[in-house]
């Protein structure tokens, strides 16, 4: 590969997923569960007048399922308010750092007015790294110099 892996200069624009699910703060938790399952998403954003005010993830859902919580309560009662969010102009490296610090696996991306435009997901960052190396890297045995030891009858 001719180019360096430039985590400090590549921006999030190329790894952002678009079209996030946005719910009203008063929507019942049940609606979040149903939309996440239907659309196979791990999180929904909660928006008031178009601005991001909270996030609800599968981790939050797990806790509610384990406790058999009433799912008719408004989502604003169980969401994480004022989540960490980044801009499309932030770097891939910045997203990695924030995710590592906070234990996040996805971060909402907002525009200059605080309107959500999508997510950067940890899986997208892994794909970004994988695409950087030639496919041969991934076809090699884990420890090439030991590869013949297990061969029987040789």
Q: Which of 22, 27, 117, 122 binds other proteins (CB under 8 A)?
A: 122
Q: Which of 45, 55, 99, 109 binds other proteins (CB under 8 A)?
A: 99
Q: How far is the CA of 129 from the CAs of 47, 123, 126, in angstroms?
A: 32, 10, 5
Question: Using the rule CB under 8 A, is 42 a contact of other proteins?
Answer: yes
Question: Using the rule CB under 8 A, is 14 a contact of other proteins?
Answer: no
User: Considering beta carbons, is residue 6 or 48 the nearer one to other proteins?
Assistant: 6
What's the CA gap between 116 and 154, in Å, rounded?
A: 61
54 burial level (CB within 10 Å; 0-12, 13-18, 19+): buried
Classify the C-alpha dihedral 25-15-128-4 as positive or negative: negative
- DSSP letter, residue 38: H
Span from 13-21, 32-40, 47-55, 80-88 in contact with other proteins (CB under 8 A)? 32-40
Say if residues 78 and 57 touch (Cβ distance below 8 Å). no
Which tokens is 10 given? Answer: 């590549």
Question: Using the rule CB under 8 A, is 132 a contact of other proteins?
Answer: yes
Footprint on this chain of other proteins (rule: CB under 8 A): 1-8, 30, 33-34, 36-37, 40, 42, 58-59, 61-63, 65-66, 68, 71, 93, 96-97, 99-101, 103, 105, 122-123, 126-127, 129-130, 132-134, 136-140, 142-146
């Amino acid at each position: 590969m001719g180019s360096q892996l430039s985590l400090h200069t590549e921006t999030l624009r190329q790894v952002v997923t678009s079209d996030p699910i946005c719910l009203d703060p008063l929507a019942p938790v049940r609606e979040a569960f149903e939309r996440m399952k239907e659309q196979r998403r791990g999180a929904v954003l909660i928006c008031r007048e178009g601005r991001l005010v909270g996030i609800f993830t599968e981790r939050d859902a797990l806790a509610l399922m384990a406790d058999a919580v009433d799912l008719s309560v408004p989502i604003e009662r169980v969401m994480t308010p004022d989540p960490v969010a980044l801009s499309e102009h932030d770097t891939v490296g910045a997203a990695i750092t924030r995710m590592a610090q906070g234990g996040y696996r996805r971060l909402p991306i907002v525009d200059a007015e605080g309107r959500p435009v999508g997510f950067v997901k940890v899986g997208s960052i892994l794909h970004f790294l994988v695409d950087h190396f030639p496919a041969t890297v991934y076809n090699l045995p884990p420890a090439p110099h030991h590869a013949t030891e297990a061969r029987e009858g040789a």
